A and B are shown apart, each in its own frame.
Chain A
């Protein structure tokens, strides 16, 4: 059995307050699987990043190794060992 890639999930400060940590060591082949793995450690995190129907929240932006992942590609975006998954607030308008 292959172990899923080791990923560092980096939370925005406002969400980091919920779990009292900014960086979470997690594992996952995709963005969503890495998030789900993090939710197993911190169940209270899920409501802040996912909708009730299990999708990434509309204004949650995923950034992998410094590059923005387009929203439609985010759930299944492939991750590799050592990747950093940064969560950011998606801001629209001005």
Chain B
């Protein structure tokens, strides 16, 4: 059967699915699914029969996770959704004093290792890691991380204290990475019992706890599919690359207009290539593009600005951290969704772009899946 690409697009008002043939030139849109729910995140698990996993939240009725068939025709809520951890005392005080958001929902869902087909992981706010062994019907906390000795120093970010990045190493089912705003990155090499902070040489936020291994405001952390311990992260301050599973990081944002941003994607095969979408930072609390929209691709020679097909006038656009992804095809497809409801797609490594859909509700997440 011919390959298709499906984008799962989580929005403020439900889930949308965008489907294209392998050419990725025209997109068929369905939705809104889960009418009435906000969808912070959705992902298609393609390890066996494709299955959607969705985080859903509602202003009055709280949050849960859903699973669904590939077409989004029948959604089933978790029988036992994650029970969110409490904020540590310092974080709760900080949230109150600064009037920060304190959402309680699932930020990310990630399929487990290919050898564990029913295993899923979820990251939450307040920050917690959960494991499901029944394809999302029930969730159990991962104590090794949730009760980590550094938890007392985990600071909340402006969007809450969120475990937003969750990566299972395809080379080793026992190795995983998570990233928490604003605590930083962590790695386990033993299936989740012990977790090592991996924030050496990464910028700390102002006021980070002294002599602590945490205190980095990581915005997004990804494994590169080229493997061998290659990681990228978009931080509040800088873009970083690690070649040793996060033990050391090298700053690579020289040449970008801003070191600040949220979205991050990694190329399907080229280990030197990640994609970022720099946003004007918080000098004016702007956090949007400055009139023109550009994606930047890294290489061993530096950054390449990619604008063909993207709006270059009057474009003041925000892209959230879960709203950028790449597929695993070659040439690589890159996708991002905006807070103003557009999904932009490239099917040629980012060289050219097109709008796949406009005028959706504000977009929280975009994930790409290749299905048969």
Contact = CB atoms under 8 A, between A and B. Distances in A.
B partners with A = yes
Interface of A: 12-15, 17-20, 43-44, 47-49, 57, 59-60, 89-90
Residue of B58, B60, B76 contacting most chain A CB atoms (<10 Å)? B60
Task: Enumerate the 5 nearest inter-chain pairs by beta-carbon distance, A residue then B residue, closest first.
Answer: A14-B36, A59-B60, A18-B77, A48-B61, A89-B60
B357 interface: no
B75 interface: yes
Contacts of B34: 17
Given A13-B36, A14-B36, A14-B37, A43 B60 contact: no
A57 to B, nearest CB: 7
Interface stretch (B78-86, B240-248, B341-349): B78-86
B62 interface: yes
Contacts of A15: 61
Contact of B78 (A12, A44, A59, A90): A44
Contact of A48 (B35, B62, B76, B80): B62
Given A18-B77, A44-B79, A59 B59 contact: yes
A13 B35 CA distance: 9
9 contacts: A14-B58, A17-B66, A43-B80, A47-B64, A48-B62, A57-B60, A57-B61, A59-B59, A89-B60
B81 A47 contact: yes
Nearest to B104: A52
A19 to B, nearest CB: 7
Nearest to A11: B61
Contacts of A59: 59-60
Contacts of A13: 35-36
Contacts of B35: 13-14
Interface string B44-62: 0000000000000011111
Nearest to A47: B62
The binding surface of chain A is classed by DSSP as helix
A17 B73 CA distance: 12
Given A14-B37, A17-B34, A60 B61 contact: yes
Interface size class of B (residues with CB under 8 A): 10 to 19
A43 B138 CA distance: 12
Contacts of B58: 14, 48
B307 to A, nearest CB: 40
Given A13-B36, A14-B36, A14-B37, A44 B77 contact: yes
Given A14-B36, A14-B37, A17-B77, A44 B61 contact: no
Given A13-B35, A14-B37, A48-B58, 15 more contacts: A14-B58, A17-B34, A17-B66, A17-B75, A43-B80, A44-B81, A47-B64, A49-B61, A57-B60, A57-B61, A57-B62, A60-B60, A60-B61, A89-B59, A89-B60
Contacts of A47: 62, 64, 81
A59 B34 CA distance: 20
Interface string B240-283: 00000000000000000000000000000000000000000000
Contacts of A19: 77
A14 B61 contact: yes
Contacts of B79: 43-44
Contacts of A20: 76
Contacts of A18: 64, 77
Contacts of B37: 14, 17
Contacts of B59: 59, 89
Interface in B306-355: none
A59 B58 CA distance: 11
A19 B58 CA distance: 15
A41 to B, nearest CB: 12
Contacts of B78: 44
A44 B60 contact: no
Contacts of B80: 43-44
A75 B177 CA distance: 44
Contacts of A43: 79-80
A49 B61 CA distance: 6
Contacts of A57: 60-62
Nearest to A87: B61
B286 to A, nearest CB: 28
B75 A90 contact: no
Contacts of A89: 59-61
